Each structure stands twice: as C-alpha cells, then as structure tokens.
Amino acid sequence: ASSLAFEGVTKRYDTTEALAGIDLNVEPGSFIALVGASGSGKSTLLKTINRLVDPTTGRVLLDGEDVTTRDPTEMRRRMGYVFQGIGLFPHLTVGENIAMGPRLVGEKLTGERITELLELVDLQPDMASRLPAELSGGQQQRVGVARALAGDPKLLLMDEPFGALDPVTRDALGTRVRDLHARLDLTTIMVTHDMAEALILAERVLVMDRGRIVADETPQALASGK
Ligand code: ADP
Ligand code: ADP
C-alpha cells in the first residue's frame, strides 16, 4: 500500500481558494473518508494526488516522492481512480472499459485477467461482452471499481463513487470495496458527502470546510459526538 503526505498544500483558482493549507499524513493501508459540504475542496484535494490539479504552493508526496517530479503516466497506472457518478465509455464493452487504463500505457489485459477483475466485484464473466447500457446502475459502478483495479494499484482514489446508487446497492458495493481494500493491500481515499457512509467504511474521517481540514477523527470518536 502507498503512503501519502501533504505539506502546506494550497490551490487557488482565480479568486477561489479551493485548498487553504493542507498538512496531512496518510499511512499505508489506511481507509480515509473525506467529507464536507459541496465546494469545501474535497475533489480538488483528491485531484492533487493524480495531478489533474497541481498545488499553487506546497507539495504532495507519494511514497515519499513529490508527485510533480514523477512521470504522470507511470504514476497514474499505480493508482486506481473511481469517478464521480458512472463514468464508463458507453460505446465500449465492459471488458474494453476495464482494459482501457492498461491499454493507454501499452499493456493488454488477458480475458482471464478481465474475468478475475469482474469476480472481484461480484460480476459474472459473461458481463465482459455487454455494453454499459445493458447493466443496472449498481453493476455499472462495480465495473467502475473493476476498471480502477485493473492496473493493480496500491492507492485507490474514489470521488463520490456510490452517490448515484440506491441505498441497498450502495451498502453492498461499499462493503465490497472495504473488503478489497484489505485484501489487495490498498491505501484508499474516498470522497463522500454522506457522513453515515464515511462512518461505516472508513478508519479515519477527515472533515473539510472552505479548503481546510477541520476535523480528523476515527468514526468512533465522531459517532460519539465528541
Ligand atoms: P468539493 O469537491 O468539496 O465539492 P471542489 O474541490 O470541487 O469542492 O471545489 C472547491 C472550490 O473550488 C469550489 O469553490 C469550486 O467552485 C472551486 N473550483 C473547483 N474546480 C474549479 C475550477 N476548475 N475552476 C475554478 N474554480 C474551481
Ligand atoms: P467535482 O466536484 O467532482 O470536481 P463538479 O461537478 O463540481 O465535480 O465539477 C466538474 C468540473 O468542473 C471539475 O473538473 C471541476 O474542477 C470544474 N469546476 C468546478 N467548479 C468550478 C468553477 N467554479 N469554475 C470552473 N470550473 C469548475
């Protein structure tokens, strides 16, 4: 599992200070939930890790190395990213969607590997040849998770991964991701605005407000209303 560190990270968009000074250490193997109101900076913080956004000041260290000094393609293939909502390519099959990340860096996934990835998220092998529109929302989001795991990452980043799903499907997939987190030796960071989901799944809950981390607690401490 990867380690992460944020050192005095700020991000300014024109007049908006999206990140107002983030100092944070993420231990290898931790499962972190980032919660907070819309606009509090959660997505921006996540994006500084995979370099969709670079900090205005400060540094983000992945396994001790500044992410801005590394080759972005090389670095991203060691991270899984689950997009907000359901972000599958509609005209590609499920198998092609899963194989997309590795393909972009010149690696071909075998059918066997695609089956294995589908099994990780409780989907049948015959799903590989279907189109996303033939799947339920919950199944599509399972494919989103399988796709994020295709490069055998040591870091899993998820931006509101289950927001579009009904509560029962959301709980089942959340539990599965929690299980995969442990089984695959991942460090996981999940953005959510659902505090209940954060309390159930994460080991550490960070609350953001106006670009700052204003609480950093275990679910037990937060739930007891400390
Ligand atoms: P959250 O994920 O918590 O909803 P964001 O990180 O998306 O918050 O946004 C933090 C703040 O930065 C918001 O005020 C948002 O409008 C602003 N912001 C985010 N992305 C951009 C951008 N590309 N350009 C300008 N402002 C942005
Ligand atoms: P997210 O919070 O996950 O980034 P949004 O729907 O808020 O999702 O934003 C979608 C895209 O628009 C993102 O790339 C984000 O950086 C950008 N964005 C968000 N807020 C602003 C803004 N105020 N001005 C310009 N771009 C923005």
For the stretch 1-48, pLDDT in tens is 999 999 999 999 999 999 999 999 999 999 999 999 999 999 999 999
Cα(124) to ligand 1 centroid in Å equals 38
Query: CA separation (Å) from 53 to 23, 31, 75, 151, 182?
Result: 17, 22, 14, 22, 28
Instruction: Write down the pTM of the prediction.
Output: 0.88
Cα(19) to ligand 1 centroid in Å equals 9
- Which residue owns the Cα nearest ligand 2 atom 2? 43
Matching residue, tokens 């939930």: 33
Ligand 1 atom closest to 45 (CA): 6
Per the CB < 8 A criterion, the answer to whether 32 and 202 are in contact is yes
Ligand 2 near 84 CB (within 6 A)? yes
Does the structure's ipTM exceed the value 0.85? no
Distance, CA of 162 to CA of 133 (rounded, Å): 18
